[in-house]
A and B are shown apart, each in its own frame.
Chain A
Amino acid sequence: MSDHVGLRPAEDDVLPPPDWGRRGPAAPGTRAAWAFAVLAAGLVAGRVWVAPTVGARALDAWATIFVAVCVQALPFLVFGVAVSAAITAFVPPSVWRRVLPHRPGAAVPVAGAMGAVLPGCECASVPVAGGLMARGVAPAAALTFLLAAPAINPIVLVATAVAFPGKPEMVVGRFVASLLVAVLAGWAWLLLGKGEWIRVPSRPHADGTAGRLEAFRQDMRHDLMHAGGFLVVGAAAAAAINVVVPAGWVTAVAGNPVASVLLLALLAVLMSICSEADAFVAASLTQFSTTARLAFLVVGPIVDLKLIALQAGFFGRRFAVRFIPLTFCLAVGVSAVIGGLL
C-alpha cells in the first residue's frame, strides 16, 4: 500500500515529519539484537507457562482444528472472492453512482441495502468504497457500503446459516445488527464528519472493455492472497483458543454476559477473519452466549486488524483514528441490544 505512487504526496501532509520524536533509524545490528531479545523472552515465557500444559495430544487436536477451520472456510472464500472479482471487473462503477440518490442522507440507507445484494470481502470493499468516493459518491454513503457489503451479503448469510444449523435467528440477528451499524455509522459521519479528515483516493479510470477477463483473474488472485493469510492466522488463533486456554477460564468469562461480549468483540478484532469464514469460527466458540457470538459476527467484518490497516492506507490515519472507534462502539452496542432481543 505504502508504495503506491498516487498516495504519497497526501501522506506527507498527514503524517508528522519523519524525524519527529525519534533519534533516527536504529542500526541494523541494534534492531537484530532487540528482535532476538524479544524472541528469547518469548521463548522463556512459553517454556514456563505454555510448555507444561501442551502435550502431543493437545498439539494433535490443535492441528486438527486448525486444518478443519481452514478447510471449512476455503470454498466460501473462493466463491466469495470469485463473485466480488466478477463485480469489480464486469460492472462499471458509474452504475452505482446512478443507482444512489443524490441527497447524502437518503443515499446512506440505499448504500447499506446495496451492500446486502453485492457480495464483497472486506479486503475488496475498502478499495471499492474508495473508488466510489473518487467517482463523486458522498463519503458517508460509500462508508456505509464499505461496512455493509462484507457483513450482510448473501454469501456471508448463507455461510452463517450453514455454520449455525437450526438457528435462523443468528442469520437474522447478524443481518439486522450489521445493517443498523452500517447505516448509523454513515449518518454519524454525515453529521459529525469533516471533509478534511478523509483523504479521497484519486485514481484514473480503468481502461475499457479490453482484458476484463484478465482483470477478473488478477482481482480474484489478489483477493485470495490478501484474505487467505489472514484466514490462516484466524484459524490458528481459534484452534489455540479451543485447545490451550483452560476450559474453566473460558467458562468463567463466558458466564459473565458483559465480559463475554467484550472478549469476543476484541477477539473478532484480533483474529481478523474474513467475513465469509467467521461464522464457522463463531460456531466453534460453543462456550459463549448467543449475544457474545453475535457481537463476534457483527464486529468482525466492521473492525479488524487488516481493515484498520487497509482503511488507514486508503483514507489516511486521521480518518482511521476517528472512524474505527466509532464503528467499534456502534457494533458492540447494537449487537448487545439485538442479541438481547433474540
Chain B
Amino acid sequence: MSRAAQNLLLILIGAAVLWITLGSGEYVNYVRPGFRFLLVPAALALLVLGAAGLRREWRTTDHTPEHAHEHGDAPSGDDHGHDHSRGPRTAWLLCLPILAVFLIAPPALGSFTATRDTGRAAPPPTGPAGGFKPLPANGTPVAMSMGEFIGRAWEAQTSDPSRFQGVPVRLTGFVTPAGKGWQITRLKIACCAGDAVPFPVRVRGLPRPPADTWVEVVGIWKPPGPGTKGTSVQELSGRSLKRIKKPKNPYE
C-alpha cells in the first residue's frame, strides 16, 4: 500500500466517522450517544494526520533527493525494523467498515438480537441510590424506561407490591414476537451494540403488531402468579397501543 493510499485512507476513515456522528447521526445505532465526544476528536486527528501526509507527499514529489531520503531513511530510522513508507496489505481491510457504513448503513439491532438471548434473562436493574422515587398516584400514565419498569417490578415483587401495583405506565420499545403473544423490548447497551442485552416485557391483552414496529404501550404491571421464578419476564396488562417512529436513540 503506497503512502498516498495510506493518507487517503486515513482521511476517508476520519470523514466517515465525522459523517456518522455529526452528519447523519447514525452513530447512536452503534455506540452510546455520549461517545461522540471521543469520536469527533479522533476523526479530526485522522483528518489532520492524513492531510499532513498528503501535503508532505505533494511537496516532496518534485524534490527527488528528499523523497529518496525518506525512502532510505525509514527502514533504519527509530525503533521500527521495517520500512515505514509501505503500509501492510491488511490495512486495506480498513475499507470494510467504511463500505458497510455507506453501502449497508446497518440499522439498529432489533428483534433478531432480542430473541437470540431468550435463554438468559438480564439481571433486574437496580434503582438509583436510595431506591426509586414514589410514583404520582393521579392516574395519568407515567413514562418510564424499560429498565426502570423491570427494576420497579422486581422491587415490588420482592418487597412491597402496593407501591407499583395499579399505576399506569407508558413504555417505549419495539415488538418482539414471543410464542403466541409478543413482548415490547428495548436493548440495553453498556458501550456498543456488541454487548446489547434485551429488556423485554410481555404485553397481555393487546393484538400483536408486526415484528420490529416501534410502539408506545400504556398499561399496568401484572404481578406474576405465585410460584413464578423471580427472574422470569415481567408482564404488562396493556390498555392502549400507539405506533411511533423509531426514537432518536434506539437503545437504553
Contacts and interface: CB of A to CB of B under 8 A. Distances in A.
A87 B117 CA distance: 44
Q: Which of A58, A63, A64: most chain B Cβ within 10 A?
A: A64
Contacts of B10: 221, 224
Contact of A233 (B1, B41, B84, B93): B93
Contact of B194 (A69, A204, A224, A228): A69
Contacts of B17: 71, 74
Contact of B94 (A63, A228, A314): A228
Majority SS at the chain B contact face: helix
Contact of A78 (B1, B42, B106): B42
Given A206-B78, A281-B194, A64 B45 contact: no
A203 B84 CA distance: 14
Nearest to B211: A57
A77 B31 CA distance: 16
B96 interface: yes
A221 B6 contact: yes
Interface residues of A, number: 75
A292 to B, nearest CB: 15
Contacts of B53: 217, 221
B241 interface: no
Q: Which of A164, A226, A229: most chain B Cβ within 10 A?
A: A229
A64 B193 contact: yes
Contacts of A239: 194
Contacts of A71: 17, 20, 27, 30-31, 35, 39, 97, 192
Given A1-B81, A71-B27, A218 B74 contact: yes
A232 B27 contact: no
Interface in A177-210: 201, 203-204, 206-207
A256 interface: no
B58 interface: no
A119 B68 CA distance: 32
B229 interface: no
Interface stretch (B108-116, B134-142, B156-164): B108-116
B129 interface: no
Given A66-B97, A67-B106, A128-B79, A229 B92 contact: yes
A201 B52 CA distance: 31
A72 B97 CA distance: 12
Given A225-B87, A247-B117, A70 B75 contact: no
B90 A230 contact: yes
Interface string B28-71: 01110001001101100110010011001000000000000000
Given A68-B192, A229-B89, A242-B194, 19 more contacts: A4-B75, A4-B82, A6-B76, A61-B112, A64-B29, A64-B106, A75-B41, A131-B79, A203-B76, A206-B76, A206-B78, A215-B78, A217-B53, A221-B10, A221-B87, A222-B80, A222-B87, A228-B90, A228-B93
29 contacts: A3-B83, A4-B83, A7-B81, A60-B106, A64-B29, A64-B107, A64-B193, A66-B96, A67-B30, A71-B30, A71-B35, A72-B194, A75-B39, A78-B45, A79-B42, A88-B78, A88-B79, A162-B191, A163-B191, A164-B190, A218-B77, A222-B80, A224-B10, A225-B9, A225-B94, A232-B97, A243-B116, A251-B120, A284-B195
